[in-house]
């Protein structure tokens, strides 16, 4: 696959989604506006937010003042599961558009497979038809939940965004998504609190030394080389530039194999079929 900083994944309907985006989870207030502007200046064109992150207004302020036309940006937000009833989901989506200061989002996701997901999905289908969302999808859905959603609804999810990194590669989910034509997007691609654990592995260290890249770039490149889009988060402009500079080298088949073997199958949060993790997510 030939890739550069503007490489995209093609979603249903031919929509182009950048493979590397900027994640804003846990970045709030003025710092969020500053970070989003820094990210756009560093070359990011996909900005990911969510109702529950509490920063849509700050993301909106950055979008308005960054100097890049709206149509050149790809904006994702997510409807929080507490809003998964028809009226509430619709009202909250309109509220998101108001806060973001935009007439449409490029991608609208259902945030967790809880509550009345069917009512919320039909709201997403309506917003898609009206052009308020260019693509619709889900986040944190397990294989069986994707299959179920697709069986009983008109539009298939274009994307499933879920915790994915070297230590939790979501291989079974990825196989189902590939079969169903659903794009895989990774949040926490650097493993959240587990970055050091992954960076200290011989496979990551060896690839970093061989390519003159940082361990973070190896971890991110591995995902992108598998066709997984990523939304790394950082508040540091230098790290933003580092995280997107992953298109000028290629990992070998042997390196990919060694990195694939780091999978523990244990995500920290993104495993909705696990009761304890579902309970934790309910508390957000």
Contact residues: ligand 1BO, CB under 6 A: 25, 50, 52, 187, 284
Active site residue 53: yes
Provide, rounded to whole angstroms, the least separation between the CB of residue 141 and ligand 1BO.
Answer: 12
Q: Given the complex with ligand 1BO, which of 81 and 258 has the nearer CB atom?
A: 81
Length, in residues, of the chain: 284
Number of residue whose CB is nearest ligand 1BO: 284
Options 44, 53, 141, 187, the catalytic residue = 53
Residues paired with residue 17 on neighbouring β-strands, in sequence order? 9
d(CA 256, CA 208): 12
Which pairing describes strands 16-18 and 8-10: parallel, antiparallel, or unpaired?
Answer: antiparallel
Provide, rounded to whole angstroms, the least separation between the CB of residue 54 and ligand 1BO.
Answer: 11
Provide, rounded to whole angstroms, the least separation between the CB of residue 188 and ligand 1BO.
Answer: 7
Provide, rounded to whole angstroms, the least separation between the CB of residue 1 and ligand 1BO.
Answer: 27
Residues paired with residue 166 on neighbouring β-strands, in sequence order? none
d(CA 95, CA 112): 19
Q: Given the complex with ligand 1BO, which of 51 and 225 has the nearer CB atom?
A: 51
Confirm if 160 and 204 have CB atoms less than 8 A apart.
Answer: no
Q: Given the complex with ligand 1BO, which of 47 and 245 has the nearer CB atom?
A: 47
Backbone angles phi, psi at 223, to 5 degrees: -65, -50
d(CA 138, CA 162): 9
Q: Given the complex with ligand 1BO, which of 23 and 211 has the nearer CB atom?
A: 23
Residues catalogued as catalytic? 53
């Amino acid at each position: 696959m030939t890739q550069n900083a503007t490489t995209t994944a093609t979603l249903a309907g031919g929509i182009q989604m950048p493979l590397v985006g900027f994640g804003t989870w846990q970045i709030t207030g003025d710092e969020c506006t500053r970070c989003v502007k820094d990210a756009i200046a560093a070359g990011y064109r996909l900005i990911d937010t969510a109702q529950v992150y509490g920063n849509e207004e700050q993301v909106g302020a950055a979008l308005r003042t960054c100097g890049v036309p709206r149509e050149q940006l790809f904006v994702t937000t997510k409807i929080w599961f507490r809003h998964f009833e028809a009226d509430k989901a619709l009202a909250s989506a309109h509220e998101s558009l108001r806060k973001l200061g935009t007439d449409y989002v490029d991608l609208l996701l259902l945030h967790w497979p809880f509550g009345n997901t069917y009512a919320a999905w039909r709201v997403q289908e309506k917003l898609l038809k009206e052009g308020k969302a260019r693509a619709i999808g889900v986040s944190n859905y397990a294989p069986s939940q994707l299959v179920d959603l697709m069986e009983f609804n008109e539009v298939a999810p274009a994307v499933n965004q879920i915790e994915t990194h070297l230590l939790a590669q979501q291989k079974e989910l990825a196989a189902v998504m590939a079969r169903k034509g659903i794009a895989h997007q990774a949040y926490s691609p650097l493993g959240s609190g587990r970055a050091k654990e992954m960076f200290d592995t011989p496979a990551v260290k060896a690839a970093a030394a061989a390519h003159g890249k940082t361990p973070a770039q190896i971890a991110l490149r591995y995902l992108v080389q598998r066709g997984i889009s990523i939304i790394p988060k950082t508040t540091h402009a230098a790290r933003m530039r580092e995280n997107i500079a992953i298109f000028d080298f290629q990992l070998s088949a042997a390196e990919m194999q060694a990195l694939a073997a780091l999978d523990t199958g244990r995500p920290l949060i993104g495993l909705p079929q696990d009761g304890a993790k579902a309970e934790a997510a309910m508390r957000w």
